[in-house]
């Protein structure tokens, strides 16, 4: 499916809460365990005719600004991550920007990332946006 529209930051405003951010504890690094979210933002579909944009550089800046505001930071890959898979029995190749965020373990955090996934799917026209969550314990 083709790109639908620009990313809308305002959709996530309802999910913003101070409890999203990791609380740093100087004696033990973290007060509690944290979640690491990895978001694969689809940038280009690779076709025989070249690259077709999915999420633009402008969309990516909006997403990064949002994550900076709501979580206090993020990490992103400089080089795009290549994806290869089947879509409707057709081989598809695409390039993603990988963004990693540390977040507090809280049900509101899950809701936030579900809403982020829905907005990315709506604006990009993609059926599924990959967002992974894992628990981290800093030692």
Distance, CA of 119 to CA of 5 (rounded, Å) = 10
The residue count of the chain comes to: 139
Beta strands in the chain (DSSP E): 24-25, 29-30, 34-47, 50-53, 75-76, 81-87, 90-104, 131-136
9-136 CATH choice from 3.30.1490.20, 3.30.70.120, 3.40.1350.10, 3.40.50.2000: 3.30.70.120
Using a cut of 0.85, tell me whether the model's pTM lies above it.
yes
Q: Per-residue pLDDT for the chain (139 aa), expressed as one digit of tens each?
A: 678 899 999 999 999 999 999 887 655 555 567 999 999 999 999 988 899 999 999 999 999 999 999 999 999 988 999 999 888 888 889 999 999 999 999 999 999 999 999 999 999 999 999 999 999 876 6
Q: Are 42 and 124 in contact (CB under 8 A)?
A: yes
Residue 136: both structure tokens together: 């981290």
| Annotated domain spans of the chain | 9-136
- For 32, 76, 80, the CA distances from 98, given in Å and listed in that order, are 25, 6, 7
Q: Are 63 and 7 in contact (CB under 8 A)?
A: yes
pLDDT at 135: 93
């Amino acid at each position: 499916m083709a790109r639908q529209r620009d990313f809308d930051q305002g959709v996530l405003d309802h999910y913003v809460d101070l409890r999203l951010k990791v609380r740093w504890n100087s004696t033990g690094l973290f007060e509690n365990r944290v979640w690491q979210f990895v978001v694969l933002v689809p940038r280009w579909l690779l076709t025989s005719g070249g690259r077709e944009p999915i999420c633009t550089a402008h969309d990516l800046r909006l997403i990064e600004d949002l994550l900076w505001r709501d979580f206090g930071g993020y990490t992103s890959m400089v080089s795009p991550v290549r994806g290869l898979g089947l879509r409707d029995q057709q081989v598809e190749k695409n390039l993603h920007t990988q963004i990693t965020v540390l977040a507090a373990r809280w049900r509101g955090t899950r809701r936030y990332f579900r809403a982020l996934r829905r907005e990315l799917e709506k604006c990009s026209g993609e059926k599924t946006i990959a967002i992974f969550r894992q628990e981290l314990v800093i030692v």
